[in-house]
Structure formats: C-alpha cells, structure tokens
Amino acid sequence: SETRSLGERVNAMLDTLAESAAVQRTLLAGLPHDLKGPLSRMWLRIEMTDDPSLKDGMRQDVQDMQRMIDQFINYVRGSDQGSYLYVPLPMRPWLEERVATWQQAGRDVRLLRVPEEDLILHADELALGRLIDNLVTNAFNHGRPPVEISLTQEQQNAVLVLRDHGEGISKERRAEALRPFSRLDEARTRTGSVGLGLALAEMITRAHGGTLSLEDATSGGLEVRISLPLQRPNSGGSGGIDKPNMRQ
C-alpha cells in the first residue's frame, strides 16, 4: 500500500541519516590522530628555526591548528551520548566552580545570579562542562567581555543564561549558527574556530532533554539561553528524562 511504501522510504531515510552521522563521527575521531604526527614535526622544525619573527608566526599557526583539533575532539566526545554518565548534579556549586576556573585564568566571567535553593539536574558533569566552556570560549572569540552568567528556575526547569557584550547574531542567521562547521564571519577563521562550539552546546543540551536558543542580550550582544529539566523528586536518580547511567 502507499502508506507502507511511505513508511519504508522514511525508515530508509532515517537509516541513511544515522549512517551519515556515524561516518562523520568516525572521520572526526580519526582526524586528530592523523594530524598528530605532522604537528609534532612542525613543532620540531619551529624550534630549529633561527629567525625569531618567523618562529613566532609559525608558532601561532600551529597553535591555531591545535585549537581546531581540540574542537574536533570535543565535538566527537560530546556527540557520543552512549558514553554519558548521568548523575544528580547540584548546579550552584558546579557553576560557581566553573566560573572561578575562568576567573583564575584571567578571564572576565561574572556569575550574576543563582537561586538560594540549589537546583539538581540529572546530568553528565563532563558534558555540561564542555557545554559551558564552549559557550564562554565562543563569547570571548566572537563577542566582547564581560561574559555574564545567571542561573534561575522556571517551573520544573533550570535556566542557564550566558551573555556577552559583542555585536550578537542576527535573527536571520541564528539557525545557521547552530549548524556544525558554520562560520558566520572571517573572524571565526582568524581565531582558529571551525564552527562547532554552538553546535556542540546544542547537542549536549538536547542530550539532557533541554532546549537552547539564541537571543538578543540587553547588553547588545548575544544571549544564549539553555533550559534543562530538573531531577524529579523521589525519582531514584532517574531525573526528568530516561537516560543510561553507564559509560560504555
């Protein structure tokens, strides 16, 4: 029948998409390993160069390449949801620690607001760390400091808001900004960005049953708003979503 034929075509399309995503992860996972040897040789040649100006320029180029590789690695790890370890995570001390780490590194990151009563998520701590670090890095690379972070509760969700003081992203290009390998301007190339930061942040958010949106900040820059479901009371640690609790 037509209904059965349509169902078969849809299933075939879904299988193709799944295979495509798997191929993409495989290629990205292998890329850092393939580039490790050439990068090591480049570092050796740089140290053997006598010209200081040439050496400085080459060092900057290799550092940019290393940042790109690190982005590939983080994207592959973040996309491997089967390796997530979901545990009860108190958001207030976790967020205060992340902000303190950035401040100790000399970055102007400010925690403006947190609720008096701690909010508990059923989450993977490493994945959420990648999420917040990607957003802060993106804000410094493409916006302007200070980077301001706040945490509030809205109904049964924890809402994490991060804003910068840059030029923001126009409404017409926000969907594009969330796609992997999206580069909205030349500055992203100059900073060693490969266009994976926001895509990874949204992927991690969705893996936790949440939503991520890009909005205009009152500061004039970009506001990233993340809503994550709180752990349900008496849920036995299962949280608001049904997720595995073992790393594979």
Residues 52 and 173 in one domain: no
Residues 123 and 223 in one domain: yes
111 compared with 49, residue with greater pLDDT: 111
Q: What is the CATH number of the domain that holds 105?
A: 3.30.565.10
Give domain status of residue 71, yes or no: yes
Residues 222 and 189 in one domain: yes
Q: What is the tally of structural domains in the chain?
A: 2
- Look at residues 26, 48, 79 and tell me which one is the last residue of a structural domain: 79
Is the Cβ–Cβ distance between 90 and 120 less than 8 Å? yes
* pLDDT of amino acid 210: 96
Other beta carbons within 10 angstroms of residue 8's beta carbon come to 10
- Can you give the residue range of the structural domain that contains 100? 86-229
Residues 125 and 13 in one domain: no
pLDDT tens for 168-217 read: 888 898 888 888 767 666 554 445 555 677 888 998 999 999 999 999 98
Residues 56 and 129 in one domain: no
Residues 214 and 97 in one domain: yes
Give domain status of residue 198, yes or no: yes
pLDDT tens for 104-126 read: 999 999 999 999 888 999 999 98
pLDDT tens for 237-246 read: 544 554 544 4
pTM beyond 0.75: no
* pLDDT of amino acid 80: 66
Nearest to 193 by CA among 86, 74, 84: 74
Residues 151 and 216 in one domain: yes
Compute the C-alpha angle 208/22/240, nearest 5°. Answer: 15
33 compared with 88, residue with greater pLDDT: 88
Beta strands in the chain (DSSP E): 87-90, 109-113, 120-123, 147-154, 157-163, 211-216, 222-229
Compute the C-alpha angle 142/145/147, nearest 5°. Answer: 95
Residues 70 and 100 in one domain: no
